[in-house]
Copies of this chain bind each other. A is one copy, B any other.
Amino acid sequence: METLKLQGLLDRIAAQMAAEPERGQVATYIPELAKIDPARFGIAVALASGEVLSAGDAAEAFSIQSISKVFTLAIALGRLGDQLWSRVGREPSGLAFNSILQLEQENGIPRNPFVNAGALAVTDAILQGHQPREILAELLRFIRLAADDDAIHINDAVARSEQATAHRNIALAEFMAAMGNLRNPSPLTIGTYVHQCAVEMSCRQLASAGRFLMGGKGSPRLVSPARMRRINALMMMCGHYDGSGEFAYQVGLPGKSGVGGGILAIAPNEASIAVWSPGLNHRGNSKLGTEAIEILAREMGWSVFD
């Protein structure tokens, strides 16, 4: 019953978004991503029951980009525990996702694991003592286990395309190296990072993979409940760069966006939500994806502040 109502809501949202003329701007700084059709829209919801409902282009794979930072953070906390926090902070940045300003003001310690510099520090931390391919294999294992789907893979063409234009990320990594907060040669860390960002998933796969942050019975136990709460807190505070406050205000759910146009949002104990629409707003987050999750959360009463 509840499921039928939710399916109807997803269908209505997908129809509304398909008709929307203002779709934002597709990211152009990674050439491979610039080719994506802005008309695409998909949404999927994985419920505590184990069911996955979806609508629109929910079975089509897209580049998850920065959403991958949630999975690498979980792996890094699993391996390093609270030692990770000596290398990266837990506060919102108040600046753009790729800003180098705060990095200088804060002595090479990025503000949080979801700005680019912070994600590089996290990747660098789990890379230490390993080969990039080992780390990428571990990431794929984690995501495939979470999503219960062995077909999930990395798109090498996207990774190479990002690597060719990675000047700003190299600048961030070398700046951290200068401040003593990078342990591997920057090409290794950058190489691992661009491949991690090039994981491809469909909305259905991504919603499934997010269940480990949802809690409750249907949730695979990949991290402890305390860690799950804390990753959710970080997603809420920092998951949408300098649009995190807006997402919390409008949607009220922890979430993480990627420049590929995807968003993963978690309604604790209720649902893991994935949405995909390639056009971005001026903060670099999916324009229609944000609107879709806002409608969904409001209609379902899923805000954590409800």
Contact = CB atoms under 8 A, between A and B. Distances in A.
A188 interface: no
B305 A228 contact: yes
Contacts of A175: 100, 167-168, 171
Interface residues of A, number: 54
Contacts of A233: 245, 248-249, 252, 305
Nearest to A228: B305
Contacts of A91: 92, 94, 242-246
A237 B225 CA distance: 22
Contacts of A76: none
A88 to B, nearest CB: 11
Contacts of A99: 104
B305 A249 contact: no
Interface string A165-176: 001101111110
B170 A174 contact: yes
Contacts of A89: 245
Nearest to A175: B171
A301 B306 CA distance: 16
30 contacts: A89-B245, A91-B94, A91-B242, A91-B243, A91-B244, A92-B92, A92-B94, A93-B94, A94-B111, A99-B104, A100-B100, A100-B101, A101-B104, A101-B105, A167-B182, A168-B174, A170-B174, A171-B171, A171-B172, A174-B174, A225-B306, A229-B303, A229-B306, A230-B249, A230-B305, A233-B252, A236-B236, A237-B245, A304-B304, A304-B305
For the complex of A and B, list the 10 residue pairs with the smallest distance between their C-beta atoms, beginning with the closest: A94-B94, A92-B92, A91-B245, A167-B178, A168-B178, A171-B175, A304-B304, A171-B174, A167-B177, A232-B305
Given A99-B104, A170-B186, A237-B244, 13 more contacts: A90-B249, A91-B92, A91-B243, A92-B92, A94-B111, A100-B101, A170-B171, A171-B178, A233-B245, A234-B245, A237-B245, A237-B248, A268-B306
Interface of A: 89-95, 99-105, 111-112, 167-168, 170-175, 177-178, 182, 186, 215, 225, 228-230, 232-234, 236-238, 242-246, 248-249, 252, 254, 268-269, 303-306
